[in-house]
A and B are shown apart, each in its own frame.
Chain A
Amino acid sequence: MNRFKWFYHPVFIFVFSIVALAASLALYIYWYIEVSAGLKAVIEKYNLDPSQFLEVQTWVVILVLSILVAIILAGVFLIFIYNQKTWQLYRMQRNFINSFTHELKTPVTSLKLYLETFAKHELPREDRLKYVGFMIHDVERLLDNINRILELARIESGSYRREFVETDLVSAVRQFCRRNADLFRNAEIRIHDPDGKSLRGSVIPLLLDMFLMNILTNAVKYNKSDAPAVDIRFAARGKELQLRFEDNGIGIEKSEIRNIFKKFYQVGSTDDMTAKGSGLGLYMAQQIAKIHRGKLAAESRGTGKGSVFTLTLPLLGQEDKPDEGTGGQRGQA
């Protein structure tokens, strides 16, 4: 952490400026009263016409001075707030870079290790194939990480805006889970069908996939239960469509719920190395919800008691859907 000496500390500078400002205001007023008292004495001594000198009332002077000082104070306060915000962002970004380089280094280390092993030893074909499988997986991990950064840039630039497609969300979620079944094979993902009805919403398929990937990976990754499980429920409320993702994972502390959607934010701290991940997943999920004119909210009964993420989207319509059974696609993985 970048420690400045105490007199460089923003809080000190802030307090010091306020004290200096208050002192100067008091001195202005004091001196003004002194001077005008002296002037009055001179006027009286020489019997001059007072209206020539003391046109301005004392209280007007004090008022004007106070207003000016208040404006300066507000300025100092704003600068202080901005400064704090900048520092916070800087620290978060540093956290992000730290943990993100970790995410990049790990697959690279593994790749290098196996390549060097291959260069050194003649392994049996069976082993070689197994390790090549590891390496392919590592390359995929690297690609995922790189893509996440690129996608984030794309989401933030807003260049997705013209790719909305009207979709049945129930079957979109179901298809996503089927396609990525191998990623979540250690977890049970239960989709609770809203009585075979289809709920239609206007979504960007690529972003919806990214959203589901983030929410579901979190549910499985931050899960210490023996049988990780996620329940996905759909509900139509008036003109809104709700998707609830309920997991049995480690949950979120009440004090953290406010923070988890912030960019680069990670639960835990990098100082004691308890923070993991990029701090981008939920931020991206929330951005995706916003692009769809929706909301993403989190709730949890506390640490160890699982968490619930609710995505609210505008609903286009719902209809009975008889062909749900045949609409499924085979998993590609």
Chain B
Amino acid sequence: MKDTVRKRILIIEDDAHIAEGLRLNLSLKGHDALIALDGPSGLREWKEWRPDLIVLDIMLPGIDGLSILRNIRLEDERLPILILSAKSEPEYRVKGLAYGVDDYLSKPFNLDEFLLRVERLLTRAAWGGEGDPSRGSLSTVGPAYTFGGNVIDFEKFTARCRMGEVSLTEQEIRLLKLFILNRGKLLSRRELLEIGWGYTGDTPSRTVDNFIVRFRKYFEDDPHQPRFFRSVRSVGYVFDHKD
């Protein structure tokens, strides 16, 4: 078998037995596998350990799998992610695929099928990954985004806006991408925190509001009468613009 290249695979799964079984089989295949038993630690391991593939459960304590997926996709479009979930209904598959999952297997699954799908995903990732290995492309958003009179440059981390040229922090970029990908859709404070920051629900949602204040200052003609970043009372925010 072509198991020569050791790959790192992160297993985010809250059932210890299943996680251990997956780890066992993946390491028998010659890979390095690491287990994260809840959402927040899964996100942490993704950032620190930089795996080549993630096996993700949907029902997870802390942050659910779909939020993790969206969080990762804001930064990395290429990392192969396979969802392994007891939820087999089409609505969940569609949701997962819409958020950018590469493959979806429902539990209980066939071991060989799982292993073959994992190999396939790893092989495919190896073909296209030469350009920039750690950061994926921004295919869904593009390198730059224009709305109103503002231009955001996602590669240089800058924006041209009514305040002239401003530089943006990594967190601001993430949040802007999240808004742009969900243009016209209401994002609750909780969603913004979970997907944008990877926080669990206990974080004070003032954090989100502070970022919105900053965005309005950058991009709105009149920050007190926002056109792009509108708030929906006691729920969250909607980003939208004409054209």
* A residues at B contact (CB < 8 Å): 101-102, 105-110, 112-114, 116-117, 120-121, 127, 131, 134, 137-138, 272-274, 276, 304
Which residues of the other chain, A, contact B60 by a CB distance below 8 angstroms?
A: 273
Q: A113 touching B22 by the CB < 8 A rule?
A: yes
Q: Which residues, 10 to 26 on B, are CB-close (under 8 Å) to A?
A: 15, 17-18, 20-22, 24-25
The residue in A102, A105, A113, A117 that gathers the most chain B C-beta atoms within 10 A of its C-beta is A113
Which residues of the other chain, B, contact A120 by a CB distance below 8 angstroms?
A: 111-112
Q: What residue in chain B is nearest A108 (Cβ atoms)?
A: B108
Q: A121 touching B17 by the CB < 8 A rule?
A: no
Which residues of the other chain, A, contact B112 by a CB distance below 8 angstroms?
A: 116, 120
* B residues at A contact (CB < 8 Å): 15, 17-18, 20-22, 24-25, 28, 58-61, 64-66, 86-87, 107-112, 202
Q: A273 touching B64 by the CB < 8 A rule?
A: yes
Q: A101 touching B86 by the CB < 8 A rule?
A: yes
A-B contact pairs, 8 of them (CB 8 A): A106-B18, A109-B86, A110-B18, A116-B111, A131-B24, A137-B17, A273-B64, A304-B202
- Give the residue of A105, A131, A138, A274 whose beta carbon is less than 8 angstroms from that of B64: A274
Q: A272 touching B64 by the CB < 8 A rule?
A: yes
- Give the residue of A110, A274, A276 whose beta carbon is less than 8 angstroms from that of B21: A110
Known: A109-B18, A109-B107, A114-B17. 12 other contacts (CB 8 A): A102-B59, A102-B86, A106-B107, A107-B17, A108-B108, A109-B109, A112-B108, A113-B22, A113-B108, A131-B24, A273-B59, A273-B64
Given contacts A110-B17, A273-B66, A274-B64, contact A117 B107 (CB under 8 A): no
Q: A106 touching B64 by the CB < 8 A rule?
A: no
Q: B17 touching A116 by the CB < 8 A rule?
A: no
Q: How far is the CB of A186 from chain B (nearest CB, A)?
A: 13
Q: How far is the CB of B56 from chain A (nearest CB, A)?
A: 12
Which residues of the other chain, B, contact A117 by a CB distance below 8 angstroms?
A: 21, 24-25, 111
Give Cα A109 to B85, complex, Å.
Answer: 10
Which residues of the other chain, A, contact B24 by a CB distance below 8 angstroms?
A: 117, 127, 131
Which residues of the other chain, B, contact A102 by a CB distance below 8 angstroms?
A: 59, 86-87
Give Cα A116 to B112, complex, Å.
Answer: 8
Which residues of the other chain, A, contact B22 by a CB distance below 8 angstroms?
A: 113
The residue in A101, A272, A273 that gathers the most chain B C-beta atoms within 10 A of its C-beta is A273
